[in-house]
Amino acid sequence: MAVREGFWYRLLLRLVPLLYGIISRLLFGSCRVTVHGGEHLASCDGKSFIAAFWHYSVFCIIEMQRRGNRRWVAMVSASRDAEFVARVLAREGCRTVRGSRNRGSVKALREMMVAMEGGLAGAIVADGSQGPALVAQPGAVLLASRSGAPILPVVVAADRFFVFRSWDRTMLPKPFARLALCYGEPLAVPPDLKSSELEPYRQQLEERLNALYRQAWGRLGREGH
């Protein structure tokens, strides 16, 4: 049984990224995206920065990074299931490092810093791979403090969407949906913060992301997803 499970797992690792690429291009190609706060993204041109977003929008963020002209490095959970996400991102042109709160977080942050020093923009799920949803974890703040890069809040909303039964209510737009892609003012974090000094900036990031969340969904006449 272990052999068969290994075979099917390896097969799916090959098939899922391919199928995802085809389906996502068809789906998002039918959607209309309106960008808000583009000046905040433009302010990061020519320098390193960290895009922070909520986990529920991961499908949209993957597509948005593929369409842009920047090269990205993203932190992905070290779990077995997250290997599918890593393979999808790799196929979409995004480098990945693996780590989570419980496994390899320090090593992953170091790898992120090295990649960003090489010219890549960083991408971090602000509420992590396990949540709670819409509650920022300190990882993005720690990376910003160590790398000197500002954190750019990013939120995506849709007027029509499917919701998965997951801890974060992962959202997938329906065909021909309208999307609001919103960028917030970058958050600068002082260098070399100690662990005990991260909390005020973690709170600021959470507040900025949730204010942007309300703004993005409000533009489409909704309170949230």
pLDDT at 4 over 60: no
Q: Give the chain's domain count.
A: 1
Q: Has residue 223 been placed in a domain? A: no
Q: Has residue 57 been placed in a domain? A: yes
Query: Do 197 and 143 form a contact (C-beta atoms < 8 A)?
Result: no
Residue 135 lies in domain: 2-218
pLDDT at 78 over 80: no
Q: What is the pLDDT of residues 141-154, one digit of tens each?
A: 999 999 999 999 99
Query: Do 48 and 116 form a contact (C-beta atoms < 8 A)?
Result: yes
CA atoms within 13 Å, Cβ hemisphere of 23: 12
Q: What is the CATH classification number for the domain harbouring 10?
A: 3.40.1130
Query: Strand, coil or helix: what is 34?
Result: strand
Q: What is the pLDDT of residues 38-51, one digit of tens each?
A: 999 999 988 899 99
Q: Has residue 225 been placed in a domain? A: no
Q: What is the pLDDT of residues 202-216, one digit of tens each?
A: 999 999 999 999 999
Q: Has residue 224 been placed in a domain? A: no
- Name the phi and psi angles at 155, rounded to 5: -135, 140
Q: Has residue 30 been placed in a domain? A: yes
DSSP for 84-134 reads: HHHHHHHHTT-EEEE--SSSSHHHHHHHHHHHHHTTPEEEEETTTTT--TT
